[in-house]
């Protein structure tokens, strides 16, 4: 028996931009990239992979300093 495929809601461009900004602020405040994306994903009821992709594609992801 296969599990039912989870359906996510459609996220408009403004919501994506807000999600990216929220994740970036969380990262800059000290959260890990994974934790920031997970929190945003949970709030929007989308996959963490989707949020990670949005943040990476935006070019705004803070990089750790060496």
Q: What's the pLDDT tens digit per position in 10-39?
A: 889 999 999 999 999 999 999 999 999 999
Rounded to whole angstroms, the Cα distance separating 63 from 17 reads 19
User: Average per-residue pLDDT in the chain?
Assistant: 90
pTM for this structure?
0.83
Q: Cα dihedral angle (15, 16, 18, 22), rounded to 10 degrees?
A: 130
Is residue 51 classed as helix, strand or coil in its secondary structure? helix
- Cα distances (Å, whole numbers) of residue 50 to 1, 26, 47, 65, 66: 27, 17, 5, 25, 27
Other C-beta atoms within 10 Å of 39: how many? 16
* Percent share of the chain, pLDDT over 90: 76
């Amino acid at each position: 028996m296969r599990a039912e495929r989870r359906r996510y809601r459609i996220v408009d461009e403004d919501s994506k931009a807000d999600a990216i900004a929220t994740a970036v602020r969380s990262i800059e405040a000290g959260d890990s990239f994974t934790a920031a994306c997970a929190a945003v994903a949970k709030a929007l009821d989308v996959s963490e992979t989707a949020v990670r992709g949005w943040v990476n594609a935006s070019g705004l992801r803070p990089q750790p300093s060496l």
